[in-house]
């Protein structure tokens, strides 16, 4: 079993980071002292669960967490600075700070360093998350000590529910578009004006017409999806936004 370290201080280490082609040492105090920080730690950059779910959801919910008093969201992994920087770029996770723990000093100090020799990983971090206030761990969510790589409690939604149980979670929105489409531009403008973040998928860059037909049953764009539900084109989006506004009122 992994030790729950709530009420204890975070380990005092130095993170070796790279910024603008220069080495920059960042101490634990610089990250945590006098601040409220959410940390989530994971086994490795570019690995499936970490890339498909763990990082993207924290990046998406970062503005909500920050609106409820969190100063910074930090991802820690036992990887070097070059790998972590490339991973952040690939993930387009600009709302998160990626801290490389290449030697495992922070992870070891947290009691979360585990052997992943069976995968050829060497020593890596167990998956967990925590809320740290002024360097003291207030809350930890540690994945169960079972074989494999469980992912049940260290997710962003669990952390948000702890920090702000009544927080309104923003919808997950995707816009299928094509270059030069005026109706696509109109749909994106409406979402921007409503303050709703969205992911844009561009025809022949991110998807094909066959994919659009398979997903939406339509060949026209835009096609807007919200929380897994197809809303439709720009006219349908306008109607959905009006109805959502009426419900909020």
Distance CA 146, CA 108 (A): 19
Is the model's pLDDT at 173 over the cut of 60? Answer: yes
Residue-wise pLDDT tens digits, 46-91:
999 999 999 999 999 999 999 999 999 999 999 999 999 999 999 9
35 pLDDT more than 70: yes
Q: What is the 3-state secondary structure (H, E, C) of the chain?
A: CCCCCCCCECCCCEEEEEECCEEEEEEHHHHHCCCEEEEEEECCCCCHHHHHHHHHHHHHHHHHHHHCCCCEEEEEECCCHHHHHHHHHHHCCCCCEEEECCCCHHHHHCCCEEECHHHCCCEEECCEEEEEECCEEEEEEECCCCCCCCCCCCCHHHHHHHHCCCCCCCCCEEEEECCCCHHHHHHHHHHHHCCCCCEEEEECCCECHHHHHHHHCCCCCCEEEECCEEEECHHHHHHHHHHHHHHHC
As a dihedral over the C-alpha atoms of residue 91, residue 92, residue 93, residue 95, rounded to 10 degrees, the angle is -170
Mean pLDDT of 126-135: 98
pLDDT at 244: 85
Active site residues: 50
Homologous superfamily assigned to 173-248: Glutaredoxin (3.40.30.10)
Q: Quick check: 249 pLDDT over 60?
A: no
Cβ-contact 1, 145 below 8 angstroms: yes
Q: If phi over 0 gives left and psi between -120 and 50 gives alpha, with beta otherwise, what is residue 205?
A: alpha
pLDDT at position 246 over 90? no
Quote the tokens at residue 140.
């930890």
Quickly count: other Cβ atoms within 10 Å of residue 69's Cβ.
Answer: 11
d(CA 169, CA 61) in angstroms, rounded, equals 8
Question: What percent of the chain shows pLDDT beyond 90?
Answer: 94
Band of residue 245 on the pLDDT scale cut at 50, 70, 90 = confident
- In this structure, are strands 36-42 and 72-77 parallel, antiparallel, or unpaired? parallel
Quote the CATH superfamily of domain 14-163. Answer: Glutaredoxin (3.40.30.10)
Each domain of the chain, given as residue ranges in start order, spans 14-163, 173-248
Residue 199 has pLDDT above 60, yes or no: yes
Instruction: State mean pLDDT over 111-138.
Output: 96
Say if residue 39 is exposed, middle or buried (CB neighbours under 10 Å; 0-12, 13-18, 19+): buried
Tens digits of per-residue pLDDT, 136-154?
999 999 999 999 999 999 9
Question: CA nearest 107: which of 87, 121, 118?
Answer: 121
User: What is the residue-averaged pLDDT of the chain?
Assistant: 96
Instruction: Count CB neighbours of 119 within 10 A.
Output: 12
Q: What per-residue confidence (pLDDT) applies to 137? A: 98
Look at residue 248 and tell me whether its pLDDT is greater than 80.
no
Q: Measured between alpha carbons, how far is 103 from 131 in angstroms, rounded to an integer? A: 23
């Amino acid at each position: 079993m992994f030790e729950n370290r709530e009420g204890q201080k975070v380990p005092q280490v130095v993170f070796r980071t790279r910024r603008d082609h220069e080495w920059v040492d960042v101490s634990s105090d610089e990250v945590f002292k006098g601040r409220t920080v959410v940390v989530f730690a994971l086994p490795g950059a570019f690995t499936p669960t970490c890339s498909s779910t763990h990082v993207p959801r924290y990046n998406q919910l970062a503005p909500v967490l920050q609106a409820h008093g969190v100063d910074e969201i930090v991802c820690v992994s036992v990887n070097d600075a070059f790998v972590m920087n490339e991973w952040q770029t690939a993930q387009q996770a600009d709302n998160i700070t990626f801290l490389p723990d290449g030697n495992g000093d922070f992870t070891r100090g947290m009691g979360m360093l585990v052997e992943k020799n069976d995968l050829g990983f060497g020593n890596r971090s167990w998956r967990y998350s925590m809320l740290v206030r002024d360097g003291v761990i207030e809350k930890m969510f540690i994945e169960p000590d079972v074989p494999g790589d469980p992912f049940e409690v260290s997710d962003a939604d669990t952390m948000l529910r702890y920090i702000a149980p009544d927080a309104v979670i923003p919808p997950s929105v995707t816009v299928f578009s094509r270059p030069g489409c005026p109706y696509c531009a109109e749909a994106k403008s409406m979402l921007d004006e409503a303050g709703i973040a969205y992911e844009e998928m561009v025809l022949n860059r991110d998807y094909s017409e066959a994919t659009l037909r398979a997903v939406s049953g339509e060949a026209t764009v835009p096609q807007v999806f919200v929380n897994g539900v197809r809303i439709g084109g720009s006219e349908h989006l306008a109607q959905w936004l009006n109805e959502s506004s009426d419900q909020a009122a």
